[in-house]
Amino acid sequence: MLSLTKYQGIIFDMDGTLIDSMGAHLQAWELTCQAFGYPFDYDYMYGLGGVPTLATVDILNEKFGLSHNADEIAQQKHQFWLGLNQQPEIITETVDILNYYHGKMPIGVGTGADREHAIDHLTHTGLIDKIDALVTASDVRHGKPHPETFLTVAKQIGIQPNHCVVFEDTQIGYQAAAAAGMDCILVKNGKIQLKT
């Protein structure tokens, strides 16, 4: 088991870190991009994982010189995602860590998903009762890479940011953790990436 004893609190991202749902989100984004005339680039969109949907629309509008309504696109993306009817599965390596440290130190989740979506996924996978705090895109003014999400989790679990470690699957999430003054362990394709 990965030793995290030098930390006092653990913060997990959700999609792509604890729960294997990035594939479905990317499928929904591909359908959305096709519907609204955005070029779709898988790697680019994966890199925006953790960015709230409304902010992602702003980024796409700016990148491609379009001016689509963010609320309209967010609703359509959500409908595409619901239509895929995919049930989220846990990512074993990170959930094993969550289970091991559950009850030994405070654990929070900081996600770019909206609150309803996050609660649904965490409930479906049985993780909701194992975390001490949940901060979603619905709870902050600034999404990742801004540090507000992770700083809010740290405050809710009562641990100073520099005593927290974050698990993330995207560079944007990594940047948010670094900006919050937290160490970050990256998860790639369901595997924890340890620097040698």
Among residues 13, 17, 40, the alpha carbon closest in space to that of 28 is found at 40
Instruction: For residue 192, count CB atoms less than 10 angstroms from its CB and return exposed for 0-12, middle for 13-18, buried for 19 or more.
Output: middle
Give catalytic status of residue 183 as yes or no. Answer: no
Could you tell me the end-to-end alpha-carbon distance of the chain, in angstroms, rounded to an integer? 16
Is the previous residue joined to 88 through a cis bond, with omega within 30 degrees of 0? no
CB 170 within 8 A of CB 46: yes
List residues bridging with 185 in a β-sheet. 167
Is the previous residue joined to 52 through a cis bond, with omega within 30 degrees of 0? no
Place of tokens 């030793």: 3
Catalytic center residues: 13
